[in-house]
Amino acid sequence: MVVALILKCRVARPVNGDRSVQVVEKRERSVSNDPAVKGDFPPNGWLVAGAGTHLPTPPPEENEISDFAEMFGNTRAPRAVEEDLSPGSTRTVELQLTGPSGLAGATRWIGTADALKVVIALDGSTLATGTAYPMGTNRGGSYLHVRATGGGHATLSVTNTSRITVKVRILFMATTL
């Protein structure tokens, strides 16, 4: 048995109206052509030109500085390290801990999406190893955090396990508990 369904549709006719109103139609590119979605980043730099320039600046809060000081008053972070790392080389960032601390490390690299070896250690004993994630075709990163139960010499090490020189950025922080 075949059932046929016929629908009648009315087509809207243009309405004569106010000619002072102007309609502008724009076509946006497909999301699959967006450089960020495709993983196309600048080859040798961290920043994407013009990124974030369209965002409005939020109004300053009266308690912003005191809130920041309260939240991060016990946090120490030496300056971020950025340098080229040849194949097989290791770069280490160090912190001296006076007692129990929360440790966090963030590493980023440009040049390969392959995983690099990232380790947080205390007095030479490994506390945490990083799980790398790729970003596009030639970038990667790793984030680690761990709790150190006592003081000592804490390190964050990044070893270039790839076959090419990469640019690394390392940040290592400790918050006294």
Bridge partners, residue 24, by sequence? none
pLDDT in tens, 41-51: 666 666 656 55
Residue 31: inside a domain: no
User: Which pLDDT score, from 0 to 100, does residue 116 have?
Assistant: 96
Here the CATH number for the domain that contains residue 120 is 2.60.120.380
- For residues 22-46, give the mean pLDDT: 70
Task: Examine residue 109 and state whether it is found in any structural domain, yes or no.
Answer: yes
Tens digit of each residue's pLDDT (9 = 90 or more) over 91-112: 999 999 999 999 999 999 999 9
Residue 95 pLDDT? 93
In a domain, 143, yes or no: yes
The string of DSSP letters for 33-95 reads G-HHHHT---SS-SSPTTTTTTSPPPPPPTTHHHHHHHHHTTEE-PPPEEEEE-TT-EEEEEE
Cβ neighbours of residue 86 closer than 8 Å, sequence gap 6 or more: 160, 165
Query: Considering the domain boundaries, does residue 75 fall inside one?
Result: no
- Give the domain range for residue 140: 86-176
Q: Is 160 in contact with 84 (CB distance < 8 Å)?
A: no
State how many domains the chain has: 1
pTM: 0.64
**How many of the other CB atoms lie within 10 Å of CB of 141?**
19
